[in-house]
Amino acid sequence: MKHHKRKRYKVISVVSLIMFFVIWQIYAVLNAKMGWINEAFLPAPTEVLVTFQKFFEEGTLFDHIGISMIRILKGFFVGSIVGVVVGYIMAKLPVFESILQPVINILGAIPPYAFMPLLIIWFGVGEFAKIVMIVLATFIPVLASTIQGVKSIDPLHIRSARTLGCNELQLFHHVIVKTSLPYIMAGMKTSISLCFSALVVAEMIGSDTGLGFIIVDGRNWFKVANMFMAMTSIAILQTVFQTILTMIERKLFKWKKEGLSSAIE
Amino acid sequence: MLEVKGIRKSFASSEVQVLKDITFTIETGEFVCLLGKSGCGKSTLLDLLAGYTKPDGGELILNGKEIKGPGIDRGLVFQEHALYPWYTVYQNISFGPKIQKKANYMELADEYLDMIGMKKYKDYYPDSLSGGMKQRVGIARALAAEPDVLLMDEPFSALDPSTRVKLRDDLVEIWKKTTKTIIFVTHSVPEAVYLADRVIAMKDGTIQFNEKINIERKRDMNDPRFVDYVNRIEAFISNRKKKEEKLVVTND
Ligand SMILES: Nc1ncnc2c1ncn2[C@@H]1O[C@H](COP(=O)(O)OP(=O)(O)OP(=O)(O)O)[C@@H](O)[C@H]1O
Ligand SMILES: [Mg+2]
């Protein structure tokens, strides 16, 4: 019964997505006939597909996507690790927390994208500044969720682990990691979208490669279809990223789902 | 044998000395219930026995060795089950022996899983179990680590009355099978009289009552001897000399 319902909602969602493109296509076709607005402002989905094909044939499509992906992966990876390590230390040692928290609060109040011009001045227009930009965007959510995760550890879990014979390492593995991982994963999912924003900003300001570059380049040369192609790529990539993380989450936290579903029944 | 000698304990944050002079001895294999009003220091004493905290003075000696910290010779069962929600029933029960690298950890887990009658729920996660089942698993998890003493801090007080009654009988059965020493903290005088070989009651930081319950099991709560024990112990705890003080609250 419940399963049935869930399936139906999924169908509705898929239909909605298809309708979005259909309506967009119909609008573009009608606009071409009626001439409501300049056709070049809003190209049809089919034209975006043609643009994909053009880039593909030129052989630059996967270059741009690949470069952006590598930047995201590097920044996301480094940012997550730094966030987890610093977060863990802050949660475990109150001294560090009282030293670092105010500074992080101040820095966290500034949108990370505001740092981009500064980063270019400091590190030049090379890869490093871009990666740092993405690290900055990833870091804060992962840090915050790690702290929350480590602090949510049940003291009774630690006590029983000690009584059952855990040493420090086993305690870390079986209790601390297990408790905080769901929080960390949630933080990573939040930071994925920030990562993509950071990527676009970084590539728009100082770059001649990547999806963000295609968007700025499209504006400079009035190639609106290119912009749409780049934006579509970003949407797809981010969806893929989120899906992978969600799949990992499902696999890792099976115990959560089961508990939850039986709680609802 | 567990020897508790002149234990004192107070907390920095409160003025009163919670435990003033606690002295008693528990024989190996004995089932002892620890009674006392809320806030009299039962959990404080159990934490000391578990080794989570240190006494200000006095000695705690288990089988000739001083208790210096948490150890596998003492198993704990808490009021809130404290199972690991990320592990299945089976993984929870096998946790202790597996961590201790016992070769027979699977047999141990199976044995206690069977003893609590939950073979069917082997692969369930704790969050999908009822309160009574969780508490059973908590007991099995503690026992599978093969401690000498089982320390239980109000393990049944969060359960509904019928589950509670059932679990009492089950615990007595488990105790008979395993012949473990059990120290069981409770608020309920009838529960203590029902379960224990011996009842120890605390008050004002000292032991006020320490007596064997000479009634054969399975005990009947309407047995006149049973009623007599309950009345006498309640009188000790509530201190009837002070008229304005209310009689002790029981959970049943
Ligand atoms: N960590 C602590 N710091 C300060 N005071 C404490 C601490 N732990 C316990 N106390 C105090 O010690 C006294 C005894 O507490 P304890 O939890 O041992 O009582 P209890 O007999 O277990 O009560 P209950 O039946 O309600 O569980 C209480 O007054 C409590 O406030
Ligand atoms: Mg208590």
Choose between A42 and A257: higher pLDDT.
Answer: A42
| Phi, psi torsion values for A91, nearest 5 degrees | -70, -30
Q: What is the DSSP string of chain B?
A: -EEEEEEEEE-TT-SSEEEEEEEEEE-TT-EEEEE--TTSSHHHHHHHHHTSS--SEEEEEETTEE--S--TTEEEE-SS----TTS-HHHHHHHHHHHTT-TTHHHHHHHHHHHTT-GGGTT--GGGS-HHHHHHHHHHHHHHT--SEEEEESTTTTS-HHHHHHHHHHHHHHHHHH--EEEEE-S-HHHHHHH-SEEEEEETTEEEEEEE---PSSP-TTSHHHHHHHHHHHHHHHTTTSTTSPPPP---
pLDDT tens digits, A212-232: 999 999 888 988 999 999 999
Choose between A2 and B217: higher pLDDT.
Answer: B217
Q: Kindly state whether B130 is in contact with chain A, defined as any CB-CB distance less than 8 angstroms.
A: no
- The correct answer on CATH 1.10.150.20 for the domain covering B2-73+149-251 is no
| Phi, psi torsion values for B224, nearest 5 degrees | -55, -35
CA distance B108 to chain A (A): 14
pLDDT tens digits, B207-244: 989 999 999 998 999 999 999 999 999 988 886 544 44
State whether the beta carbon of B42 lies less than 6 angstroms from ligand 1. Answer: yes
Cα B234 to ligand 1 centre (Å): 21
Residue A258: band (very low, low, confident or very high) from pLDDT cuts 50, 70, 90? low
**For residue A6, is pLDDT > 90?**
no
| Rounded Cα–Cα distance for residues B34 and B32 (Å) | 7
- Which structure tokens are listed for A217? 């380049």
Per-residue pLDDT at A37: 84
> Taking ligand 2, which is a single-atom ion, which protein residues have CB atoms under 5 Å away?
B 43
Averaged confidence pLDDT in chain A: 90
Dihedral of CA A89/A91/A92/A93: which sign?
Answer: positive
CA distance A261 to chain B (A): 9
Per-residue pLDDT at A153: 95
CA distance B82 to chain A (A): 6
Q: Kindly state whether B100 is in contact with chain A, defined as any CB-CB distance less than 8 angstroms.
A: yes
State whether the beta carbon of B43 lies less than 6 angstroms from ligand 1. Answer: yes
| Rounded Cα–Cα distance for residues B201 and B147 (Å) | 24
The domain spans of chain B are 2-73+149-251, 80-146
Ligand 1 atom at minimum distance from B47 CA: 18
pLDDT tens digits, B80-122: 889 999 999 999 999 999 999 999 999 999 999 999 999 999 9
- Of the candidate ranges A4-18, A247-261, B109-123, B124-138, the one whose mean pLDDT is the lowest: A247-261
Domains of chain A: 1-42 (no CATH), 44-264 (1.10.3720.10)
pLDDT tens digits, B39-80: 899 999 999 999 999 999 999 999 999 999 999 999 999 988
ipTM: 0.89
State whether the beta carbon of B96 lies less than 6 angstroms from ligand 1. Answer: no
Residue contact A259–B50, C-beta within 8 A: no
Instruction: Pick the closest to residue B236 from B204, B212, B197, B209 (CA basis).
Output: B209
Mean pLDDT of A54-73: 92
Ligand 1 atom at minimum distance from B79 CA: 27
Could you say which ligand is closest to the alpha carbon of residue B153? 2
**For residue A265, is pLDDT > 50?**
no
Atom 24 of ligand 1: nearest residue by CA position: B38
- CB atoms under 10 Å from CB of A212, counted, come to 26
